[in-house]
Amino acid sequence: MAKTEQDIKIRNDEVEWEPRPTLGSADYASAEVWEDERQKIWWGEWICVGRAEEVSKPGDYVVRDVAGESIFITRNDGGELRAFYNVCSHRGTKFLDDIEGTQSVRKAFVCPYHAWAFDLNGQLVGSPNVKEDEHFDRADHPLYDIAIDTYAGFLFVNLTTGGPKETLLESLNDGAETITAFDRFKMDELRVGVRLVYEVKANWKIVVENYNECLHCPQIHPELVQVIPLFRFGEVWDEEIPDDGNRMMKGATSFTQTGESPLPTFPGLNPEDLEMYYGTYQFPNLMLNLHPDCAMYYIGFPKGPSHTTVVSEFMFRPETIADPELFKPEATVEFWDLISKQDWDVCERAQTGVSSRAFTRGVFPRQDRFLYWFNEEWRRAMGRPTLG
């Protein structure tokens, strides 16, 4: 999908920039806006919910909370991905428990209340004590299914009533950045080697905005600006480098405090990739970081107007994970964990501030122009007029 005129202006460093307003206090703090977001964004857009490897075999499943709606994802006997609301079609009982990680069933999901059983396609196959002479047709009572698709190994679901408004690929390419620009990293072949989970007492939009700017980097991330020199100037883009790459410090080949790591680099990368950090954001909740030897991402799961669960996972080549002599991710993980905790602390401070009766709205200077794009995307998704 072609970039909008606004996308081009935001990316072009030569275009004159005038300060733009941020979203208002209520947009970050009110229960009313949060309820509207649930309907229009979290239940109306393609949402990243994890990795396809989590459900690698028929009967594997994971449970996710999407803005208060419990869903689960599985594979049928043919290996096809299926997604369903975590709700029994009999009398609405919550079907599966909220257990971290992958679980598995053999042939059917059984409701814990009345033992109705559903196969891996969500079809009702067992209804104890319901007699045939009741004219009851099991085919009329499947589980409530949800649209699901994948890209680069990431799982996306769409809870839109009546089906998605656009395909996943259309959605991924409809913005100033896209994960589709990084197919050379072969992310579908990578596997998660380390997982961290953070509970951040801040609105999901504050988490996204923090990710997409670096005016805060010299103050909040002294270690980071040593590794990515451009960040010292409050910028996140170098318009001269393809795919918005940022060069690491001279001699660095890995995203660590020293710029070094025993991890092997990914095969098939471009020569310039070996000295780059790439960061890209996919609306609304996927924040992807790519390095020569590791891919890390954040997935934000909002729990309310002032609470976001952030899942951070680190991906490597499967052969690297399988080799204890090669799989030494500690330096990368510890560096990212330090940066993350620095970010979450200041995000929580921001949430406190925007919730104050004194705050109405703030301002975006040039270095915050990508945040302004995000705000415009949010306004479009919410059915509000954009500011241009």
In whole angstroms, what is the distance from residue 325 CA to residue 323 CA?
A: 5
Mean pLDDT computed over every residue of the chain: 94
Task: Let me know: does 339 contact 210? Beta carbons within 8 Å.
Answer: no
Rg (CA), the chain: 22
- Beta bridge partners of residue 99, listed in sequence order: none
Q: How many other CB atoms are found less than 10 A from the CB of residue 217?
A: 21
Considering only residues 243 and 109, tell me which one the structure prediction assigns the higher pLDDT. 109
In the three-class reduction of DSSP (H, G, I as helix; E, B as strand; rest coil), residue 71 is classed as strand
Report residue 238's pLDDT band, with 50, 70 and 90 as the boundaries.
confident
Contacts of 108 (CB under 8 A, 6+ apart): 117, 118, 119, 120, 125, 126
**Residue pLDDT, tens place only, 358-377:** 999 999 998 899 999 999 99
Q: Are strands 286-290 and 295-304 parallel, antiparallel or unpaired?
A: antiparallel
pTM assigned to the model: 0.94
In whole angstroms, what is the distance from residue 193 CA to residue 336 CA?
A: 14
In whole angstroms, what is the distance from residue 95 CA to residue 142 CA?
A: 13
AA identity, residue 46: W
DSSP 238-281: -TTSGGG-EEPSTT--SSSSSS--SSPPPTT--GGGGGEEEEEE
- For residue 233, CA distances in Å to 15, 200, 206, 213 come to 19, 27, 21, 11
AA identity, residue 187: M
* Burial (Cβ within 10 Å: 0-12, 13-18, ≥19) of residue 14: exposed
**Residue pLDDT, tens place only, 170-209:** 999 988 899 999 999 999 999 999 999 999 999 999 999 9
Could you tell me the sign of the dihedral formed by the alpha carbons of 182, 188, 189, 195, in that order?
Answer: positive
Given a cut of 50, whether residue 2 has pLDDT beyond it is no
pLDDT at position 388 is 84
What is the pLDDT averaged over residues 22-37? 98
pLDDT at position 72 is 98
In whole angstroms, what is the distance from residue 347 CA to residue 307 CA?
A: 11
Percent of the chain with pLDDT over 70: 96
- Beta bridge partners of residue 117, listed in sequence order: 110, 126
pLDDT at position 136 is 87
pLDDT at position 232 is 92
Domain ranges of the chain: 5-44+178-381, 47-164
Report residue 1's pLDDT band, with 50, 70 and 90 as the boundaries.
very low
**Residue pLDDT, tens place only, 137-177:** 888 999 999 999 999 999 999 999 999 999 999 999 988 89
pLDDT at position 241 is 80
Given a cut of 90, whether residue 239 has pLDDT beyond it is no
In whole angstroms, what is the distance from residue 32 CA to residue 264 CA?
A: 49
In whole angstroms, what is the distance from residue 74 CA to residue 190 CA?
A: 20
Given a cut of 70, whether residue 10 has pLDDT beyond it is no
CATH code given to domain 47-164: 2.102.10.10
- For residue 370, CA distances in Å to 135, 215, 234, 235, 244 come to 59, 12, 12, 10, 12
Report residue 271's pLDDT band, with 50, 70 and 90 as the boundaries.
very high
pLDDT at position 4 is 54
Count of residues in the chain = 388
Closest CA to 65 of 85, 95, 81: 85
Least confident segment among 25-39, 119-133, 276-290:
119-133
* 5-44+178-381 homologous superfamily: Naphthalene 1,2-dioxygenase Alpha Subunit; Chain A, domain 1 (3.90.380.10)
**Residue pLDDT, tens place only, 216-230:** 999 999 999 999 999
Given a cut of 50, whether residue 8 has pLDDT beyond it is no
Helix (H) or strand (E) run with residue 376 in it: helix 369-381
Structure tokens at 261: 């790591």
In whole angstroms, what is the distance from residue 338 CA to residue 198 CA?
A: 12
pLDDT at position 133 is 76
**Residue pLDDT, tens place only, 326-356:** 999 999 999 999 999 999 999 999 999 999 9
Torsion of CA 277, 173, 157, 125, to 10 degrees: -120
**Residue pLDDT, tens place only, 43-81:** 999 999 999 999 999 999 999 999 999 999 999 999 999
pLDDT at position 240 is 74
